[in-house]
Amino acid sequence: MLALGAVLLVGPAQAARWWPWPLTALTGRAVGAWLAGLGIIAAQSWQAGRREVVAVVFPATTTFAALQLAVLAGYAGSMHWNQAPAWCYLLFLASLLATGVAGLTGRGPRRLTALPLRGQRRHGPARSGGPSS
């Protein structure tokens, strides 16, 4: 989400060529801002690795996906359904909605696995025999 949002913010005219519906520079930047914002929140939450921190993402992604699907239903004739990006976007929205609903209803994982930052160790049993940190 973050990468796609950045592309839409920086070069909306170029991104409009592969977008699943006609896109102006202004609407491209608006969609890019939404995607970049959601991407930043998701990345920070994922890095934290705790459900309490990630919980902030669930209402935002659920709302975003539901509103996008509603607009998509209203303007389905504007979509280029004969091209792959339209179906990829629909699957992306469906996955966002499913993730948001699972998180809001508590059906997601209790503990998330996040990659450690550079210089950090993963939590777990300490290794013996090595230098202590």
Asked if residue 49 is part of any domain, the answer here is yes
Q: In angstroms, rounded to a whole number, what is the distance separating the alpha carbons of residues 56 and 35?
A: 15
Asked if residue 13 is part of any domain, the answer here is yes
- Which pLDDT belongs to residue 29? 93
- Which pLDDT belongs to residue 126? 47
Q: By residue range, what is the domain housing residue 29?
A: 2-104
Asked if residue 88 is part of any domain, the answer here is yes
Q: What angle do CA 131, 132, 133 make, to 5 degrees?
A: 120
Would you write out the chain's pLDDT as a tens digit for each of its 133 residues? 788 888 899 998 888 888 887 889 998 899 899 889 888 877 777 777 666 777 777 888 899 899 999 999 999 888 888 988 889 889 989 988 998 888 888 765 555 555 455 555 555 444 445 455 4
pTM: 0.60
Q: In angstroms, rounded to a whole number, what is the distance separating the alpha carbons of residues 51 and 45?
A: 8
